[in-house]
Structure 1
Amino acid sequence: MLISSGLALAVIALPVLAGLAGTVLPAFGYLPALGGRTLSLEPFHDLLATPGLNDSIRLSLVTGLAAALISLGLAGAFTAAAAGTPVFERMRRLLAPLLAIPHAAAAFAFAFLIVPSGLILRFLSPWATGLQRPPDVLIVGDPAGLSLIAGLVLKETPFLILLILAALPQMPVARSRQLAASLGYGRMTGFVFLQWQPLYRQIRLGVLAVIAFSSSVIDVALILGPNLPAPLSVRLAQWMVDPDLSLRFTASAGAILQLAVTLAAILLWVGLERVGATILGVMRERGLRLARDRIPRAVAIGLPVATASFLIAGFLALFLWCCAGFWPFPDTLPQDWTLRSWRTAWPRLGGPLATTLIAAFASAFIGMVLVVLRLATRPVGRPASVLSQGVMWLPLLLPQVGFLFGLQFLAIRTGTDGSYAALILSHLIFVLPYLMITMQDAWAAFDPRYERVATALGASRLRAFFRVRLPMMMNALLAAFAIGFAVSVGQYLSTVLIGAGRLPTLTTEAVALAAGDNRRTIAVYALLQTLPPLILFAIAAILPALLWRNRRAMAA
């Protein structure tokens, strides 16, 4: 029982710790395979002498904090305004397809909307803007990283709403709303004063994970971020795959710097938490009620809905481009339609598509088995320990470059780089935390009396588990599998480094195309990258209704 319970934690902790060790040693000059046999600070000297390093650090720091702050503000305001309303329930159903979209595909969809010749200006030109040609304005890749921040917000807001949805059932929302209304508080003010602080404590690790991801993201930064200079994580990834092997030492030193930058962002966030708690306390003590909050509530509901609509509109732009023939600006729609882009790209899609599906199915399936084993062997009613929770969140709280560089060295030394086994393991490190986040609340909510009835009728505990618990949890299991599959499909850096360029996926191929300007081919790859997760989410939504069509409570 102890071995099966700790297996999931070992799959995460051992590679991450080994990867950290494999990053730290080269950062101090020790890598015998490349001639580094003594400890030295020379890699850090070379790193600090890199032109534009301060700008790269600033971009990473600001991006991480701004994306987390805006995403949390949108998710929290939406919850305060809409919790318990039909709009909230509709957003709950919309979350699945939004979460299925890989970050790179969402970044491409966003870029196809906002570029100077994008869909937005095409709809507004020339009747509203007077433009007959695209303006010469740098929108995607702007030096301040604003488009990068906006692209991250589009994806991180649904993730935070999902975390809030998981935490809300443990909160007395309806009772608190009635109490606040009886004292004259507005709906949003009452929620913020009574519910926000205990709710935030439950989602705090998720918020820190958003900061860690946003401050060290690579694929989205390659698509939407500036490149002169690029964010720190992008420059590190470029050094790591550079033909000049001496840059591996500098890249490892940079990975340590990236860890420090992400830690600094988290510490600044902790300071912002204290400032926010102080402001909230002052507002509460002054009796601020804001009973007439109809306009703020409309804005708080409208903004997250608008971000979801924006993302959907971006995929409409991708679809138009992948089927477009001649499409001059400012025409709203293409003048003719063709499947030439699909025919051109199709011969090269077989390998990346197969690798994507194999890695995603394998990592999601193995992850589901490990998570179910861990949850099944945990005593009923006992929450996860702080240590196990910390291990589960470790890959999400650490920048990927901080341990994947070392994991690549380990794969090279063992001769497993470029193998499916190593690729699946590298994906599994990131799939497991999301599976655990998705499954643990549903598992805890299951009424154990169903299994007791089965055992009282003569079934063994194992038979009751497979014939009672698992079928009754089919909805949660399928949803978790779909989320794990989507997480694997979206993996970029782990695929590039551990796959050693020999196992390309749809994600790595799509990001590689970002450096070019063939929008039609990019649209094909971005849509294909999104299609498998969406199909899995559709199956997860439809299959339980088909399996339990004669059992109403099971299909719900």
Structure 2
Amino acid sequence: MLRAAPGLTMLLFLAPVGAGLIGTWLPAFGIFPALGGDEFSLAGWRELFAYPGLGSALRLTLVSGILSTFLSLALVIGFVASCGERKSFQALRRLIAPLLAVPHVAVAIGLAFLIAPSGWFVRLVSPWPSGWDTPPDIATVQDPYGLALTLGLVVKEMPFLFLMTLAALHQTHADRRLAIARSLGYGPVTAWIKTVLPAIYPQIRLPIYAVLAFSLSVVDMALILAPTTPPPLAVLVLRWFNDPDLSMRFVAAACASLQFGIVAAAIGSWRLLEILVAKLARSWLTDGRRGGSGSALAPVFSLAAGAICGLGALSILGMAVWSIARRWRYPDVLPSAVSLDSWMRQGSSILNAGLNTLSIGLAAAAIATILVVACLENERRQRVPSNGRAIWLLYAPLLVPQIGFLFGTQVLAVHLNLDGTWLALVWTHLLFVLPYVFLSLSDSYRNLDERYVRSALCLGASPGRVFWRVKLPMLLRPILYAMAIGFAVSVAQYLPTLFAGGGRYVTLTTEAVSLAAGANRRVAGVFALLQALMPMIAFVLAIGIPALLYRHRRGLRGIA
């Protein structure tokens, strides 16, 4: 059964992606028999290119996606290089888990609360010293340049890249490299860039590509922070897929194919840029110049990283305050009256959406964890070396834009009589949950000292008994933590829930996005806060359960 685990995982994992791409590309070229498309046609492409707002949508997509990825990466590299030995570095490490647990939609709604013309930041300077007795007529949210969307993406993706960088630092023995360079007289920043960065960048390349692909095709955050006339390309695709005129499916499929091409071209261009920078920097890396200490950069990057993390924390706090606000008039900084009326009135909706979110998330995370543990256990028993190709395959749903294959996946679900079912929702969420579970658990599983296993085998225990009585207790903390990460990823899914659920299942995420477009910030704050709290509770349980079980076992408490 263990030997079949990798094949079964890849089948469950990659088959929907491949079928989804085919199911999207065929209608893009006129092949969709259910709607009368029986022959090759470019009508959908002609109608797409005739759309008057296509150029603006493309510009908005490229600027927000590429700029946010570049800023997130530059901020992470600059902060780690200049502040690795400072207290701010350790402080940010402690804040990473809570920020990662907050879904994208919750960050977007909270950020909109902060930077809106009537938001918290404007209230702090109104009416004095700004003189604004009424909210200023400034497009700070849904601005035509997509700056609010870019900022929201940086707030969410910078912690993810920082976490991936921390894992790469551990894998490449960065401390040893840095110590050797410092002993040769190199300044801290120069030593880090010349010796550590070339070693860790290959380790974080795939996460960078995943961030780039997501930023170029994000829908949920764009619905809240991006302009609407025209919106980014991914939102345009969703709008056409949901159009009552079924002939627009062909245009939507063509636009989804264009979105896929844009993401592929962006990743390819980024890779070419990496090669060019590597060639140009080779002489500088080996010229022996020690460089300065970089002390002037540390305050700048500390302030920038702290500001980004502060925005994320204030977003959560803002949602909490709005959810209990009864009367909060402009320009009051705090509500003049608080109440739980918004929570009480939404009781039935909260229960329905919360139960759906909980059941789908737990099922997807549990299935992903079982499959990943089975694959890793088979790898250890069969002595199979870790394969770089498998990592690329695992990243496939993260590198392919969701809007580019979910429509085809929905067509597949219709043919299998699964469309709009709970099983289809879990299966679709599993596509995005499994990569994160594998990435978070694989290092801990592979790094477990093999001597424990050999000692148990020498005492006569079977491999199965060794797994249940030795490995599983020792790896309980990382397994639960990986499951919590998978649950958080499931909670954040918006597009997969829309396409696979067929509108029959509402979750906290779909409700939060729908309510964010309305005028009632209190109700939107309720659902966004719940969406943020649910993954945090999962992380608390993942940390607390092993601590409780192993409170009398000091050695097991230390295993991470």
> CA, structure 1 residues 430+334, in 2 after alignment: closer, same or farther (shift >3 Å)?
same
Instruction: Report what 2:428 is aligned to.
Output: 426
CA distance, structure 2, for counterparts of residue 264 and residue 4 of structure 1: 34
Aligned to 1:331: 332
Match of 1:267, as an amino acid?
G
> Using the alignment, how far apart are the partners of 2:531 and 2:238 within structure 1?
22
Indicate the larger mover: 320-329 or 120-129: 120-129
Residue 479 of structure 1 corresponds to which residue in structure 2? 481
CA distance in 2, matches of 1:292, 1:77: 13
User: What SS class does the counterpart of residue 124 from structure 2 fall into?
Assistant: helix
The two structures have a TM-score, normalised by structure 1, of 0.97
- Which of residues 517, 529, 532 is equivalent to 1:530? 532
Query: Mean Cα displacement is larger for which, 27-36 or 271-280?
Result: 271-280
Deviation at 1:548, TM superposition (A): 1.0
SS at match of 1:353: helix
Aligned to 2:392: 390
Which residue number corresponds to residue 198 of structure 2? 197
Residues 135-186 of structure 1: CA deviation (Å, up to 9, x unaligned): 1000111111111011001111111111112211122322222222233322
Residues 343-395 of structure 1: per-residue CA shift (max 9 Å, x gap): 22222222211111110000000000000011110146644323322210100
Q: What secondary structure is seen at the aligned counterpart in 2 of 1:325?
A: strand
Question: What do the CA deviations read for 1:176-226 (whole angstroms, capped 9, x no partner)?
Answer: 222222333221111011110120111101100101000000000001111
State the number of aligned residues.
Answer: 556
Picking from 405, 411, 415, the partner of 2:417 is 415
2:463 is aligned, of 461, 464, 468, to 461
Distance 1:287 1:176 in 2: 15
**What are the superposed Cα offsets for residues 482-534 of structure 1, whole Å, 9 maximum, x if unpaired?**
10000000000010011000011110111111221211111011001111111
Matched residues in 2 for 1:517 and 1:428: separation? Answer: 34
**Cα distance in 2, alignment partners of residues 19 and 244 from structure 1:** 22
In terms of mean alpha carbon deviation, does 33-42 or 367-376 score higher?
Answer: 33-42
> CA–CA distance in 2 between the matches of 1:397 and 1:174?
31
Counterpart for residue 557 of structure 2:
555
> Contact between 1:9 and 1:388, CA under 8 Å: does it hold in 2?
no
Taking structure 1 as reference, are residues 290 and 331 closer, same or farther at Cα in structure 2, changes over 3 Å only?
A: farther
Is the partner of 1:270 in helix, strand or coil? Answer: helix
**What does 1:124-139 align with in structure 2 at a 5 Å threshold?**
124-139=125-140
Residue type at the aligned position of 1:321: W
Partner of 1:438: 440
Cα displacement (A) at 1:319:
1.1
2:14 is matched with which residue? 13
Q: What is the CA-CA distance between 1:454 and the residue it aligns to?
A: 1.1
1:52-101 C-alpha deviation (Å, 9 max, x unpaired) = 11111122122221111111111112221233555434433322111111
The residue identity in structure 2 corresponding to 1:367 is A
Flag the 1:168–1:372 CA change in 2: closer, same or farther, 3 A.
same
Structure 1 window deviating more from structure 2 (394-403 vs 317-326): it is 317-326
**Match of 1:102?**
103
Alpha-carbon distance change, 296 to 213 in structure 1, aligned in 2, over 3 angstroms: same
- Is the contact between residue 75 and residue 158 of structure 2 (CA under 8 Å) also seen in structure 1? yes
Amino acid at match of 2:426: I
Structure 2 CA distance for aligned equivalents of residues 420 and 83 of structure 1: 46
Match of 2:171 in 1: 170
Counterpart mapping for 1:17-96 below 5 A: 17-83=18-84, 86-96=87-97
Equivalent AA in structure 1 for residue 556 of structure 2: M
Other structure's SS at 1:2 match? coil
Cα pair 1:141 1:224 within 8 Å, conserved: yes
- Corresponding residue number in structure 2 for 1:295: 296
SS at match of 1:130: coil
- Give the drift of 1:261: 0.9
Instruction: Tell me, in whole angstroms, the C-alpha distance in 1 between the residues paired with 2:110 and 2:34.
Output: 42
User: Does the residue aligned with 2:117 lie in a helix, a strand or coil?
Assistant: coil
Compute the RMSD of aligned alpha carbons.
1.6
Are 1:64 and 1:265, in contact at CA under 8 Å, matched by a contact in 2?
no
1:173 and 1:195 in contact (8 A); partners too: yes
| Mean Cα deviation higher: 60-69 or 180-189 | 180-189
Report the alpha carbon displacement of residue 252 of structure 1 after superposing the two structures with TM: 0.7
Q: Distance in 2 between matches of 1:324 and 1:288?
A: 59
Correspondences of 1:352-363 after superposition (within 5 Å) = 352-363=353-364
Runs of 4+ in 1 over 3 A off after TM superposition: 82-90, 278-290, 379-383
Task: Tell whether the 8 Å contact from 1:213 to 1:399 is kept in structure 2 after alignment.
Answer: yes
Q: Partner residue of 1:4?
A: 5
Structure 1, unaligned stretches of length 5 or more? none
TM-score if structure 2 supplies the norm length? 0.96
Alpha-carbon distance between aligned partners in 1 of 2:541 and 2:531, rounded to the nearest angstrom: 17
Q: In the aligned structure 2, how far is the partner of 1:126 from the partner of 1:197?
A: 51
Q: Secondary structure at the match of 2:502?
A: coil
In structure 2, give the amino acid aligned to 1:73. A
Give the secondary structure class of the aligned counterpart of 2:379.
coil
